[in-house]
Amino acid sequence: MTDRSRLLCGVVFGCTLLLAGCEFDNAVRGPLRDEPVAIDSGHAERANVELDMKAGELALRGGAQKLLEGRFEYNVAEWKPQVHTSTAGTYASITIKQPEEVRLGGNQRYTWDLQMNNHVVLDLALNCGAGQARLDLGDLDLRSVSVHMGAGQVDLDLRGHPTRDYEVNVAGGVGQALIRLPDGVGVRAEAHGGLGSINVTGLQKRGDHYENSLYDKAKANLRLTVQGGIGEIRIIG
């Protein structure tokens, strides 16, 4: 291992401990709450969805009959997620936020397991902190996706069959991210590293960006922008 690699590993480890430590506390644990959530789509044809979780486990995928369906699990009563919705004609807005006082530690549990409707055009903004996020978005009708990472792990799976062009922006933090790209779709990716590493496979280098052979020729094109932080980001085409 080179001196630079040792330094990077030390910085990643130290920052991970620092950021993760900010999320831990000794809140009083109670019985596990399993709370369903369901938001009707109504006449919505397009939706803006923001999920803000700074600690815990997040799973997001398609397949909902309503606009959004799923469950929250937590065992501290004060940690109930804050859900806000609004509609205006064919446009809907959903924001789900974790309470500020959430500090995970010991046997405390905090999980969101959510599904979105496959047929509503979506703009997704996801803020992922210290924890794990599994984002299976390939079945959704995406217009844009924005992911802000913290000290956790993010698995962003875009494999599917999109019918429209869309954009994905990933801002790296201290954690690790794996980005899986769809087949049969034109892909253009820009990847800029911080102190961490960005590894790209399955795409060809074209000057200051990466492309596949289908870009600007396929029915749907994906434009990916990645800004690395201190952690590791892998892009698999």
Domain span including residue 160: 3-236
- How many CA atoms does the CB half-sphere of 128 hold within 13 Å? 31
**pLDDT of the residue at 5:** 45
At 196 the pLDDT is 79
Instruction: List the chain residues with pLDDT less than 70.
Output: 1-29, 102-106
Containing H/E element for 18?
A: helix 3-21
Q: What is the pTM of this model?
A: 0.85
Q: What is the largest CA-CA distance in the chain?
A: 58
Q: Position of tokens 């000794």?
A: 26
pLDDT of residue 14: 47
* Cα 35 from chain centre: 22
pLDDT digits (tens, 9 = 90+) for 54-83: 889 999 999 999 999 999 999 888 889 999
Provide the domain count of the chain.
1
